[in-house]
Structure 1
């Protein structure tokens, strides 16, 4: 008992230890702010969209997001303080800002929507210093990322120039460079001391490129921002070039999802066509897209082959079942007719034996010696014999139909197999909506003539019943013919396929096919 308890405890401990890596996930926190509806400065039409779309993209890659749109000074301070608390000991933190921002005396400031910048004093107390954001990022133990899409024209240059207070007054264009810090990544929408475009679409050129690249899994952050630079440069005709300041000791990935190579490594042996289609749709330009399309084509051919054979099997199973039921019904009727005729013949024999012969009864008059079998009995016997012959002929016709059905099935199976293996596109192969009828050009068969009184037996024991008192004649031997076909069947898959597709050749080309 004690040994069993120890074993259970050991298993529980091992399961907990194995579960620890799955539970130990990186903590990622982001602060996203987008200010658009300014009261004392020109409104920015797309910054709110930039913030919302960026927040959504960050949540998809595993960030806990504190976000706000059109925040005043109090709102920005509140969001920053909440973010700073969440950032403590986080493995990765990110700050994104879209809105008005400017540099003053070499320091960068972010502008709330209600800020009224009249002089140097209002700059200090009406705005949010970017240095405060850097301080909040410093609470994290891991990677720190700051993305600034705020390098627009400074709308307060005129007011500040009129009300200069100190000799060190300086208003620059765009944002000032930020000192590089260890473990810090800083991305600007454009180069330092330059102006970025707002964009005419839903998002600015920089944010649109950033969101798009964040969707790509397996991109190291430096590679990701270099791709953003290229996209923005091309989109603006070289007028805007984002700038990146990076100081990391290792690699960092915003999107940790599987790459196309990782996914294809798992799917390359899969038989799930839906998953492979999803891979092609998700990574249309992937190096592995060609392999995926080849695999998908193989699966579709295999599924098509299975589906066609299942349809063929189902169709002919139904037709064979119906034929068998007809055979059983006719056989039952034939047996009944044979029994009735045999009984009639037996009764006639007994009646003939019961009639006294003239030698045994000389005293009887000739009129007393009447035939025991009446004319009506003879006509009844003829009717029964005729009925039996009809059943025999019907069974012979069913036997011929059975052979024809078997041959048609073999030809259809060969045609489907040849068509699949020929390399034709799966989508071009017809899929009938209802059971296929026999081919318009069925292979010509030399059916053996059925004699009216010839006995044909279908899956039953031979019987000794006589037709009209005469044994059924044996079929005449075939006449010799120097052009007679060889006794063994020949393999003619191509001819069968062409006949099935109606490409010519007719039934003559199929004679002797197996």
Structure 2
């Protein structure tokens, strides 16, 4: 009993520190090049990778077909979002070229240079080594880069044949704490498809990588080795040489898909489960029940723990703080106690107006992600309920981000008139996964109805 109590207390003490370390990903895919030959599967690679990383608990920023300015802005924003101790994952699918030993990633609006215009090409592209250095400077402890740009030289046309190598990318030395996966080896090119009958939306390399990333307990080194063997065999079956390279400069073993935690407490005997359940019952906190379910996820005690957790969640939400914003809007702040990554969400609200359409509503999660759920109004009147759904059927901005902490529901009236409307009700439903335990919570905001301040 004493040992179990000590373990639960230790886990509870460690939980806040672990929550501070985030998994964040930047996923880039470019098909629609303006001057270079278009690609068929780079965007498909990016979309599939973004979905898989979200399933692995990453907060994902997906950037499709960016020009040079948008790509630079996305990289800067991602760099600024990283904190010391975080895990950063960067995936790039698109054209790349090697110039004098420098690996360059090419944006959508990369112009077609003339022969000998290497300096111009370098200035208009993203240098991979510079990108890795910038991410390392964030203090993120683990940085993983997937570079699927090992295609043919995109400058084979007459007049530019001297720009870039014959294909593939060069050997690189990543900063300490970095793991880099390439879709092909040094001077090799990567297959987009195996043959004319291959209609998959992803490249050969990415579809194998997606499969390996989901293997429970596999380290990133195991993933890279598994991908190399399978891709090489597939490429050889169609007479192509492609042996994906990887460079490991990590200082620790990194597992992206952990083993199920059903046996994390020593012994799954009935007395041990009963004793652990009694400790969790005496603590009776959201953290305590989540720790118990991580250790014992099945059986009668697990079912009872879920009942206790649902009951506690229904009573553990702090009262909503409703106030006016400095800009003249209405803000309702509330706390979500449930720890874990969001896998699905839905928002329902109603407000009363006299058919006035010009309102704006923004919901901001505890991690700072914001969704504009209404802009310039919905052309509806008199408190019509409106539901916004996340996950696969709606905006994905909250998927993969931490649920616990303070959220904000902010509403502005955009018209300078006498009637501004009244916010009547707001409820937020969250489905959260903590390790392999999924929990649902619905929060109804208190302190409503409330009038939206007039901008006059």
TM-score, normalised to structure 2, is: 0.51
Alignment of 1:221-300 (within 5 A): 221-237=220-236, 239-258=241-260
- 1:153 is paired with a residue of what secondary structure? coil
Give the number of the structure whose alpha-carbon radius of gyration is greater: 1
Does residue 1:147 correspond to 2:158, yes or no? no
Determine which of 190, 209, 219 is the counterpart of 2:184: 190
Which deviations, in whole Å up to 9, do the C-alpha atoms of 1:86-134 show, x marking residues without a partner? Answer: 1231421111100111101211111111211213243023222212311
TM-score, normalised to structure 1, is: 0.45
- 2:248 is paired with a residue of what secondary structure? strand
Which deviations, in whole Å up to 9, do the C-alpha atoms of 1:116-154 show, x marking residues without a partner? Answer: 121324302322221231122212331111111110011
2:132–2:174 CA contact under 8 A, matched in 1:
no
Alignment of 1:83-482 (within 5 A): 83-119=78-114, 120=117, 121-138=119-136, 139-158=138-157, 161=160, 171-199=165-193, 200=198, 201-237=200-236, 239-258=241-260
Query: In the alignment, what sits opposite 2:14?
Result: 21
User: How far apart, CA to CA, are the structure 2 residues paired with 1:100 and 1:195?
Assistant: 11
Which deviations, in whole Å up to 9, do the C-alpha atoms of 1:289-309 show, x marking residues without a partner? Answer: xxxxxxxxxxxxxxxxxxxxx
Which deviations, in whole Å up to 9, do the C-alpha atoms of 1:218-263 show, x marking residues without a partner? Answer: 1111111111112212222263111111122321111125279879
User: How far apart, CA to CA, are the structure 2 residues paired with 1:136 and 1:182?
Assistant: 13
User: How far apart, CA to CA, are the structure 2 residues paired with 1:96 and 1:140?
Assistant: 19
User: How far apart, CA to CA, are the structure 2 residues paired with 1:109 and 1:18?
Assistant: 44
- Spell out structure 1 runs of 4+ moving beyond 4 A: 15-18, 259-263, 265-269
1:104–1:172 CA contact under 8 A, matched in 2:
no
Distance 1:42 1:16, change over 3 A: same
- 1:254 is paired with a residue of what secondary structure? coil
Deviates more, 1:118-127 or 1:45-54: 118-127
Deviates more, 1:146-155 or 1:193-202: 193-202
Which deviations, in whole Å up to 9, do the C-alpha atoms of 1:308-352 show, x marking residues without a partner? Answer: xxxxxxxxxxxxxxxxxxxxxxxxxxxxxxxxxxxxxxxxxxxxx
Shift of 1:68: 0.5
- 1:41 is paired with a residue of what secondary structure? coil
- Runs of at least 5 residues in structure 1 that lack an aligned partner in the other structure: 1-14, 270-514
- 1:40 is paired with a residue of what secondary structure? coil
- 2:140 is paired with a residue of what secondary structure? coil
User: How far apart, CA to CA, are the structure 1 residues paired with 2:257 and 2:28?
Assistant: 21
2:83–2:139 CA contact under 8 A, matched in 1:
yes
Determine which of 55, 60, 66 is the counterpart of 1:60: 55
1:117–1:159 CA contact under 8 A, matched in 2:
no
1:103–1:172 CA contact under 8 A, matched in 2:
no
Determine which of 34, 37, 40 is the counterpart of 1:42: 37
2:146–2:181 CA contact under 8 A, matched in 1:
yes
Which deviations, in whole Å up to 9, do the C-alpha atoms of 1:273-296 show, x marking residues without a partner? Answer: xxxxxxxxxxxxxxxxxxxxxxxx
Shift of 1:196: 0.5
Query: In the alignment, what sits opposite 2:429?
Result: none
- 2:98 is paired with a residue of what secondary structure? strand
Higher helix share: 1
1:87–1:136 CA contact under 8 A, matched in 2:
no
Distance 1:154 1:21, change over 3 A: same
Query: In the alignment, what sits opposite 1:71?
Result: 66
- 1:173 is paired with a residue of what secondary structure? coil
- 2:246 is paired with a residue of what secondary structure? strand
Shift of 1:22: 2.1
Distance 1:18 1:235, change over 3 A: closer
Distance 1:261 1:103, change over 3 A: farther
Shift of 1:266: 6.1
Which deviations, in whole Å up to 9, do the C-alpha atoms of 1:353-386 show, x marking residues without a partner? Answer: xxxxxxxxxxxxxxxxxxxxxxxxxxxxxxxxxx
Distance 1:254 1:52, change over 3 A: same
